[in-house]
Amino acid sequence: MTNSIKRGSAMIALSAGLAISLLAAPAALAKDVIIHAGQLIDGVSRTTRSNVSILIHDDRIVSVTPGFTEQAGADVIDLSKSTVLPGLIDAHVHLLLQLGSGSPMLNQVTRTAYDELLDGIGYARKTLFAGFTSVRDVGGYTPAIVALKKAVAAGNVTGPRMWVAGSILGPTGGHADFSTGFDEALSKPEWTDGIIDGPEEAIKAVRAHHRAGVDLIKIVPSGGVASVGDDPHAQLMTDAEIKAVVETAHTLHMKVAAHAHGAVAVDHASQIGVDSIEHGSFANDVSYKIMKTNGTYLVPTLIAGDTVVQYAKMHPEILKPSVAAKALAVGPVMSQNAFNAYKAGVKMAFGTDAGVYPHGQNGREFELLVKAGIPAIDAILMATSAAADLIGDADDIGTIQPGRYADIIATSGNPLTDITELQRVAFVMKGGQIVKQAGQ
Ligand SMILES: [Zn+2]
């Protein structure tokens, strides 16, 4: 792909030591940039435009106009042979988690929240370099993930824009209780930080999360797959607990993401007013009607299903005891049900459960969505305008339109004809700053 950048004296300054101080004060570099896009998928329209110019001032998009224009004093980034898209959004990641090396229970007792946070810095970089300029982190020890978000926002860590849920909330012995299977005397604060039993505890936990700086709340109305001893089919939170979370969170202007596999938990959580169902593995046609009526998003996380099946078959040591059987049951139904939800007209946003599989491979989800029967353009819209709407910041991210952040990526081939192009994102710009160019 061609994405050489034509720069004048600014480029010379960038290669000198002097540039460091200039970069620290972006106002000194305030310069217009024009991207020449050969093909443009803007995140709004289902049709592609050819030969378009995107004018960027500081960190925002100013205009999107037909033809390749130039402007005195503006640098041109030549992506005329590439397909240009909005920075991708993954609405379901866990930047503090990485399954896949060694026994998860041994890791749990030998690693601290500091280890997780330091590893998370690397995972944030990998995620951004993969073309994901925004993520919704739906589960990680609250003080650690809030610290990572702040460090990225301050420019001290390279990573995507982050909206974080902190510790996931759920009942004793459920998917949010990380002490299950251990001697109680071993318990660490981060294992039980998210346990709520009863509406009063739910209200208090949501308020405490808000005080700690989270952006949204993640609850686990059903059991999980990678956790011990909880049934994914069962609704393990009461309706009263879900309602207490939803009302308190919405009052505090926070959205609620609900991890739910079984249909009963999906249906109840949607009726009570959660903003998204995560996974939704065993949902059915009745569930999809309920979700459509309530405007509840589905975040299907197909890579997670695919990955846990591979672990169960080939690397059972990566899963906790009793988890393999659950993994083998959930994996195969997830894609068919994601397609059923799509056909039923349920709102869908892109999410991958990064951390269950290796960070940075988020783009594989597109391939699985397309394999499931969802058209490539709709899979892309799930990861752009739809995910931005779910996050609640569509005015800033998810589309290439005037006023939005200049979060822009490019692929050398067209992802509408080969969806795997989104696993080889060659150019990444976040807030007007190039973070990856020509694949480097
Ligand atoms: Zn998850």
Output phi, psi for 3, to 5 deg: -145, 40
Q: How far apart are the first and last CA of the chain?
A: 12
16 band by pLDDT with thresholds 50, 70 and 90: very low
Contact 384, 398 (CB under 8 A): yes
**Which residues surround the ion ligand 1 when the cut-off is CB under 5 Å?**
353
Q: Which pLDDT score, from 0 to 100, does residue 30 have?
A: 60
* Domain co-membership, 115 together with 159: yes
* Domain co-membership, 67 together with 112: no
Instruction: Assess whether pLDDT exceeds 70 at residue 321.
Output: no
* Domain co-membership, 75 together with 165: no
Residues 179-199 have a mean pLDDT of 90
Q: Which pLDDT score, from 0 to 100, does residue 323 have?
A: 78
* Domain co-membership, 203 together with 338: yes
* Domain co-membership, 348 together with 411: no
Domain with 92, as residue range(s), is 88-391
User: 148 or 439: which carries more pLDDT confidence?
Assistant: 148
CATH code for the domain of 385: 3.20.20.140
Q: Which pLDDT score, from 0 to 100, does residue 331 have?
A: 76
Tell me which DSSP letter residue 386 carries. I
Contact 192, 178 (CB under 8 A): yes
Mean pLDDT over each residue of the chain, to the nearest integer: 90
12 band by pLDDT with thresholds 50, 70 and 90: very low
CA of 294 to the centre of ligand 1 (A): 23
Residues 417-428 have a mean pLDDT of 98
28 band by pLDDT with thresholds 50, 70 and 90: very low
Residues 228-244 have a mean pLDDT of 89
CA of 406 to the centre of ligand 1 (A): 28
* Domain co-membership, 65 together with 106: no
CA of 130 to the centre of ligand 1 (A): 19
Instruction: Assess whether pLDDT exceeds 90 at residue 101.
Output: no
* Domain co-membership, 97 together with 194: yes
CA of 362 to the centre of ligand 1 (A): 13
CA of 93 to the centre of ligand 1 (A): 6
Instruction: Assess whether pLDDT exceeds 60 at residue 83.
Output: yes
* Domain co-membership, 335 together with 431: no
Structure-token pair, residue 38: 């050969």
Contact 219, 242 (CB under 8 A): yes
Of 69-83, 310-324, 330-344, 426-440, which range is least confident? 310-324
Number of domains, the chain: 2
Structure-token pair, residue 44: 């709004």
Contact 418, 145 (CB under 8 A): no
CA of 221 to the centre of ligand 1 (A): 13
Residues 177-192 have a mean pLDDT of 87
Q: Which pLDDT score, from 0 to 100, does residue 65 have?
A: 97
* Domain co-membership, 82 together with 122: no
Contact 321, 301 (CB under 8 A): no
